[in-house]
Amino acid sequence: MTKSFDEVKQFILDNQIEMIDFKMVDLDGIWRHLTIPSQNFDQDIMIYGVGFDASSYGFAQVEKSDMIFIPDLSTMIIDPFSKTKTLNLLGDVLVIGKDNTPFDQYPRNIAKHAEAYMIKQGIADEMIIGPEFEFHVFDQVSFEVKPNHIGFSFDLEDAEWNTSQNSHGYQVDSKSAYHIDQPSDSTYDLRNRMSELMDLWGVPVKYHHHEVGGSGQLEIEVKLGKMSHMADATMIAKYVIKNCAKEAGKTATFMPKPIYKEAGNGMHVHMLLKKNNKSLFYDETGYAHLSQTAHYFMGGILKHIASLCALTNPSTNSYKRLVPGFEAPVTIGYATANRSAIIRIPSYAKSPDSKRFELRNPDATCNPYLAYSAILMAGLDGIENKIDPKDHHWGPYDFNLYNLSLEEQKKIESVPSTLDQALDALEKDHLYLTKDGVFPLALIKAWIIKKRAEGKEISQIPHPAEYKKYYNS
């Protein structure tokens, strides 16, 4: 809800707020923050902003790295984790100049620009999305990368490997914990706390449950909302989940594949387009009741899926999740109620207003503003160029793609199997992102350089499994 400066100032006085915390997002999708005493929060901040140096945020180098932050007053919330009474505010970043123009590389600005492009083209008024947040909660974790010691360890009392200890005896077998109840579901109250705080912060929860991974894999699914708002909501959800875990003496991770031979963490994204408050994705006579517009939108995503992966799955660990056999989609196609396809059409979403599909490959190592904006731009490209997935043999795949013979598998396209492959695709296929300047080319180039450096660094580190495999060679 939009707030005026006077309303926020009165809220600060009424609630005895001591600090104002401004939260900004870097290129990796990590919050940075800058804090001022509440008495320094005045009308000038809404006009001239708060100055800071953005050179360490990972963006492509610009002539002047001095930026200003303008708070979005509609995002205000009292931070539930700060000992000092603190008001949190998200906002936008502008380049200092005569007119203080929005910084075109700032992720939150990119999301707004993508929505504006969609409206400008007359295609839709809103992209509505709903992410599913999968994550692991452990009792403890440790990791180290040194010349003489490389490894990690973690533990959770509920994990199957602890049945031989002096345990509670309610451990769950690997890949057997989907919707498991108490007492095996020991994180139930913790998820309630997470859900309550997310709802308080304007991110209403649809439901939460234990996921299939027996070693503390959980899921919180939220209600659908406007794309740019849900990018904010994704940052909020990760902040709340991690801090709630820490508050409870535990630790939470959104790593796509934290546990060997166990299900990984995705961030499936449900989506639909609306115009004049009416869904553009429903057609009673269409396949799975999806309209031709919805099919074109799917076609655009499927056409650009390899390059999209560089933004929706931007870590080397992402591709340890995208392997067959662990409920992770690897084949390029769409289907109804089929979790083995990249795009799944939920059969339970039957009403015209709720008819949608979900993209199943993204994970939460992404920057949500960049990932959601890229998905939107790919889908819009599909509509603009009438890319029908059936014309490209991308489905519908109404059968289990994991059970195909080797010969049949060769006929079906797959998503990239490494981060380098995804970056190669982004180098070749990015014009759909740069339409109307939504994604600055300088930012795409900086992203590719940054992510290639990450991949190169990790590829040069000896892996513990290599010692087991090759030590005695």
Residue type, 25: V
Residue 217: both structure tokens together: 């894999």
Residue 393 annotated in active site? no
CA dihedral 64, 68, 72, 77 (to 10 degrees): 120
Alpha carbon distance 438, 102 (integer Å): 12
Beta strands 86-95; 278-279: pairing state: unpaired
Residue 219 annotated in active site? yes
Residue 308: both structure tokens together: 């999209």
Name the active-site residue from 79, 115, 185, 211.
211
| Distance in Å from the first CA to the final CA of the chain | 65
Residue 339 annotated in active site? yes
Alpha carbon distance 73, 35 (integer Å): 15
Residue 268 annotated in active site? yes
User: Do 442 and 433 touch, CB atoms closer than 8 A?
Assistant: no
User: Do 349 and 342 touch, CB atoms closer than 8 A?
Assistant: no
Name the active-site residue from 79, 232, 358, 363.
358
Name the active-site residue from 136, 360, 381, 430.
360
Residue type, 406: L
Alpha carbon distance 244, 356 (integer Å): 31
CA 300 from centroid of its chain's CA atoms: 20
Beta strands 126-138; 225-226: pairing state: antiparallel
Residue 358 annotated in active site? yes
For 447, counting Cβ atoms within 10 Å of its Cβ (0-12 exposed, 13-18 middle, 19+ buried), the class is buried
Residue 211 annotated in active site? yes
Name the active-site residue from 28, 104, 158, 219.
219
Handedness of CA 103, 228, 7, 16 (dihedral sign): negative
CA dihedral 466, 469, 471, 473 (to 10 degrees): -130
Q: Is residue 73 helix, strand or coil?
A: helix
Name the active-site residue from 229, 339, 392, 452.
339
Name the active-site residue from 136, 191, 210, 268.
268
Alpha carbon distance 129, 358 (integer Å): 9
Alpha carbon distance 306, 286 (integer Å): 27
Name the active-site residue from 134, 262, 327, 381.
134
Residue 134 annotated in active site? yes
Alpha carbon distance 8, 10 (integer Å): 5
Name the active-site residue from 28, 79, 132, 283.
132
Alpha carbon distance 361, 309 (integer Å): 8
Catalytic residue ranges:
53, 132, 134, 211, 219, 268, 339, 358, 360
